[in-house]
Amino acid sequence: MSDTTPQLTDRSGRRYALDQPRWRGDDGGPLMLEPLPGITRRQIDTGANSQWRYRAALPLPQGEPVTLGEGRTPLLQRTLAGLEVAIKPEPMNPTGSFKDRGSSVMISALRHQGVKQLLEDSSGNGGSSVAAYCAAAGIDAQIIAPASTSPSKIVRSRLHGASVELVPGTRQDVADEAVRRAGTRFYASHNWHPQFLQGVKLIAYEIWEDLGFTAPSAVLVPAGAGSLVLGCAMGFAELKRCGEIDQVPRILVSQPERCCPLVRAFNGGAAAVDARAWPATLAEGTAIAQPVRDREVLQAIRDSSGGATAVAEEELLPAVRELAATGVFVEPTSAQVLPALRQFHATGHVGPDDTVVLVLTGSGLKAGQALSRLSAD
């Protein structure tokens, strides 16, 4: 880290101190951390067998982090869609999803700031992750989630000691309700809080180290709110900034056809998503109609010369089965990257000479009810 303390900025350009518990700007919009210098391979703490080996890249004070051993998921080689690719199985994180990367850093920052109670909204993975890290930190967590959320995602939050309230309506309805309640309890949304992104960006450092300190040609991720898009963009930008890589990889994004506001906006050349209703999808983890950081996500895709595509609903379950046949069991939200890979291959976004990393975000155990009929077929 440099000697200059970074600050948070909102969309209007106003700056805020990093050491205060704040989840959005005075303009009502999301906060982002000012660009950081990044770290070199010599600054990796090789004695830490978790994502905290890259702690020097984080804008956090000294002290013990709130960690459950997140990160250090393997990079596995597979032949998919006729291409030799690498997959990053994030279900191997402590609560079964990539959200643990962000939760660990966010809860570490909030504990340091003295936050004792917090509110989170989630379609499942984010809530169970925040609940687990709050349990480890001794913070009282309240989670609100859509009534349609997979029961296997809810039970874990409750077992970790969080209070869980199921709210009728869509995922967006739940997010709107959380913002309304933010005045009564600190809102530690994984979609709003800037420190969450700082944890997610460490996946870029990990992929870089996995690949022998090189960057891939492209990273393919499912996107709901787009934290993986921004995390990859931030992490690889830092590595380029400090001279460790020459080029940021192309960021390729997949969303389900039934809820693809980012894809629609990207392919339409828009700077932000349209406000509209979307039908329900099995890929519930990406069913976010109005991503908080839509402008930043869309710009990050464009800045990387990336792309975005929508996956038909009928392709989700076959993709789960196809990945399971290679030994990797993921939920439909994650599996959508496989048909997306086929589309990107067909359109020339990726080819046999590219090094492509697919990020698989959540465990199939999170969607047991939805996937139970697969084993009967």
At 13, is the pLDDT very low, low, confident or very high (cuts 50, 70, 90)? very high
At 154, is the pLDDT very low, low, confident or very high (cuts 50, 70, 90)? confident
Does the structure show a pLDDT above 80 at 366?
no
| pLDDT, average across residues 320-330 | 97
DSSP label at residue 53: G
pLDDT at 125: 86
Alpha helices (runs of H) in 211-350, residue ranges in sequence order: 227-241, 261-267, 294-303, 316-324, 332-335, 337-346
Structural domains in the chain, CATH included, are 76-97+196-376 (3.40.50.1100), 99-194 (3.40.50.1100)
List pLDDT tens digits, range 269-307. 999 999 999 999 999 889 899 999 999 999 999 999 999
Does the structure show a pLDDT above 90 at 338?
yes
The Cα-based distances of 202 to 59, 187, 190, 237, 296 in angstroms read 12, 23, 15, 12, 18
Does the structure show a pLDDT above 80 at 376?
no
pLDDT at 374: 64
Among 9-18, 80-89, 143-152, 320-329, which stretch is predicted with the lowest mean pLDDT?
Answer: 143-152
Burial readout 212-249 (b: 16 or more C-beta within 10 A, e: otherwise): eeebbebbbbbbbbbbbbbbbbbbbbbbeebebbeebb
Above pLDDT 90, what percent of the chain? 85
Supply the pTM of this predicted model: 0.95
